[in-house]
Chain A
Amino acid sequence: DQQVKQNSPSLSVQEGRISILNCDYTNSMFDYFLWYKKYPAEGPTFLISISSIKDKNEDGRFTVFLNKSAKHLSLHIVPSQPGDSAVYFCAASPNRDDKIIFGKGTRLHILP
């Protein structure tokens, strides 16, 4: 049973526009959420995280929003750039646990 779900396998966005990647989770014990970016033939790179005590965290062009009641989080990238084309993994960690559970990823294509 998937605890972290990324329902869109891929997404195409025009350069300069906003990219919104979505993620749903089922386990109410998750209290820490992360987004990773992965290029082909490289390891994932940590992008941004959010604790369950917050509903928004911003870092430059990247903002993560958390809606605990809906068990939903999203990553906004504004403005989208060609280098943002990659696979994005949503991940979650249960309370007091250092393990991370990953979603299956969403491939983002930034169109020129």
Chain B
Amino acid sequence: DVKVTQSSRYLVKRTGEKVFLECVQDMDHENMFWYRQDPGLGLRLIYFSYDVKMKEKGDIPEGYSVSREKKERFSLILESASTNQTSMYLCASSPARAQYFGPGTRLLVL
């Protein structure tokens, strides 16, 4: 069974804070992804990575950065959190096409 875990289920931060969201997968998958999900907008890709130290911008990378120092771990960083980054953040990993998702982190930025 594929296991993707995210460091927090719920997070409350203040505007301007630096925020780290961690994602870990235990299946040795090459590919990892960060999405955000907002009502009426579906899942939008923020960043993805095909390998260690590799990163590619998704559709909405502005205001975010990522880090992949180890194969199993993919971190999403909000350099200076803003209220429009309040959202559900979903991490996924995949060996190929089908992606396996973590439980999500619901982030509230005040």
| Chain A residues at the B interface, C-beta cutoff of 8 Å | 9, 32, 34, 36, 41-46, 49, 89, 93, 98-105
Contact = CB atoms under 8 A, between A and B. Distances in A.
Given A42-B104, A43-B102, A49 B40 contact: no
A36 B94 CA distance: 14
Contacts of A102: 35, 42-44
10 contacts: A42-B103, A42-B104, A43-B90, A43-B101, A45-B101, A98-B97, A99-B33, A102-B42, A102-B43, A102-B44
- Main SS class of interface, B: strand
Contacts of A36: 101
Contacts of A45: 101
Interface residues of B, number: 28
A41 B104 contact: yes
B106 interface: yes
B75 interface: no
Contact of A98 (B41, B50, B58): B50
A33 to B, nearest CB: 10
Interface of B: 4, 9, 31, 33, 35, 40-45, 48, 50, 58, 90-92, 94, 96-104, 106
B8 to A, nearest CB: 13
Given A98-B31, A98-B94, A98-B96, A44 B101 contact: yes
B68 to A, nearest CB: 15
Interface centre among B41, B42, B50, B90 (most CB of A within 10 A): B42
Given A32-B97, A99-B48, A43 B4 contact: yes
Nearest to B94: A98
Nearest to B90: A43
A45 to B, nearest CB: 7
A18 to B, nearest CB: 24
Given A99-B45, A103-B42, A104-B40, A43 B97 contact: no
A45 B96 CA distance: 16
A102 B31 CA distance: 17
B42 A89 contact: yes
